[in-house]
Structure 1
Amino acid sequence: MANPNKVKGTAWESAVRDYLNAFLGLVDERGKFLDPMNGANVRRAAQEGARDVGDIHAAPFVLEAKNTKSLAVPTWIRQAEIEAAHAGFPFGVVVRKVRGSSVAVGRVHVSVGAWTRVRLALGVSSAEFAARYAWTVSLRGLDTSRWYFTTTVRDFAHLVGDYRRTVPSGVSARAVR
């Protein structure tokens, strides 16, 4: 019998992938890719062992999916950013399931640094960026490495679409510091 936690995690990853693909218009009404070779398709990544590359690739983001009761958001964000670097993507984020809710209201968590780099790449003010994608901030004490921003999967899907339409694909987000 399969590990029940692994089954729940895989189901959450697949639900997020399917939601983003549908939201971004990359699949037909049955969930089949319109163009299977399109690099914009959101995909679950193959496990890479010690050099893990995250759970879901939604260029330019690597998503680390979490379906757990206990929270360790700053630790998860660090993990997502390491895995994004392994995959060669500029941004690592965490997407966490909210019990008893649809995928759209799941939570997406991002570090202050990644939030700032995405905002600058889009060329919008902090206030506009926060309002447009319904970001809220979590400040955990004086240690800024534990601070992060949160939005919903629905608002994050809008962000992914806007980023892809606005930022030229050849522009490195690392250059926008």
Structure 2
Amino acid sequence: MSNPNKAKGTAWESAIRDYLNYELDLVNDYGTFFDPMSGENIRRAAQEGSRDVGDIHAAPFVLEAKNTKRPAVPTWIRQAEREAEHAGFPYGLVVRKVRLQHTHMGRVHVSVRTWTRIRLALGMSTSAFRELYGWSVSLRGLDTSRWYLTTTVRELADLIRDYRRTVPGVSARALR
């Protein structure tokens, strides 16, 4: 790969995919899927041009992976939500690399609207959802479209597991 930035992005996407597959017990110790055909597997998505479908599919979430020096979280969140819509998934999240940290410490960002939809699907109160998954709030001025919530990739693995156990019919096949 001749573009070093693309190589960094691809490496970050692969690290997220591998970490989530391992944490969700979808692969063995060698990284081989227990069920290669399962819609539950976390996979890097093929790029589809102007109708991009996100970087990683982790049903019911589409993850947009970012490995950059300067954050632009509200813009990235809008991109992730648009790409989730293109992919036919209900939720778009951003996963940003934290320099010099392990994959599980990556930051997961979500809009207030999407956070609320996930919380309601799980049937949880605001405080219980915030505490269980370690969400923190970022309020950027008076423009509510720039507000978002943040947790870690480690907590995201727990959220995916719990969502799949709690909400009936969640798999990549059921979402298409």
Query: Is TM-score (shorter-chain normalized) higher than 0.5?
Result: yes
2:141 matched to 1:131? Answer: no
The CA distance in 2 between the partners of 1:122 and 1:41, in whole Å, is 21
User: Which residue identity is paired with 2:132?
Assistant: R
2:97 matched to 1:101? Answer: no
Q: Secondary structure at the match of 2:110?
A: strand
Q: Secondary structure at the match of 2:155?
A: helix
Q: Deviations over 1:146-172 (max 9, x none)?
A: 0000000000110000000000116xx
**Equivalent residue, structure 2, for 1:4:** 4
Q: Tell me how many residue pairs correspond in the alignment.
A: 171
2:159 matched to 1:166? Answer: no
Q: Secondary structure at the match of 2:54?
A: coil
- When the two chains are superposed, the root-mean-square deviation of aligned CA atoms in Å is 1.1
User: Which residue identity is paired with 2:46?
Assistant: A
* TM-score, with structure 1 as normaliser: 0.95
**Where does the alignment leave 5 or more consecutive residues of structure 2 unmatched?**
171-176
Q: Secondary structure at the match of 2:79?
A: helix
1:50, distance to aligned residue in structure 2 (A): 0.2
1:108, distance to aligned residue in structure 2 (A): 0.2
The CA distance in 2 between the partners of 1:169 and 1:117, in whole Å, is 17
Q: Secondary structure at the match of 2:129?
A: helix
Comparing both chains, which one has the higher relative contact order based on Cα–Cα distances under 8 Å and sequence gaps of 6 or more? 2
Q: Deviations over 1:37-93 (max 9, x none)?
A: 000000000000000000000000000000000010000000000000000000000
Q: Secondary structure at the match of 2:151?
A: strand
The CA distance in 1 between the partners of 2:48 and 2:79, in whole Å, is 14
1:96, distance to aligned residue in structure 2 (A): 0.3
The CA distance in 2 between the partners of 1:149 and 1:2, in whole Å, is 35
**Equivalent residue, structure 1, for 2:174:** none
User: Which residue identity is paired with 1:73?
Assistant: V
**Where does the alignment leave 5 or more consecutive residues of structure 1 unmatched?**
171-177
1:2, distance to aligned residue in structure 2 (A): 1.2
**Equivalent residue, structure 1, for 2:83:** 83
* TM-score, with structure 2 as normaliser: 0.96
The CA distance in 1 between the partners of 2:51 and 2:83, in whole Å, is 7
Paired residues for 1:67-78 under 5 Å: 67-78=67-78
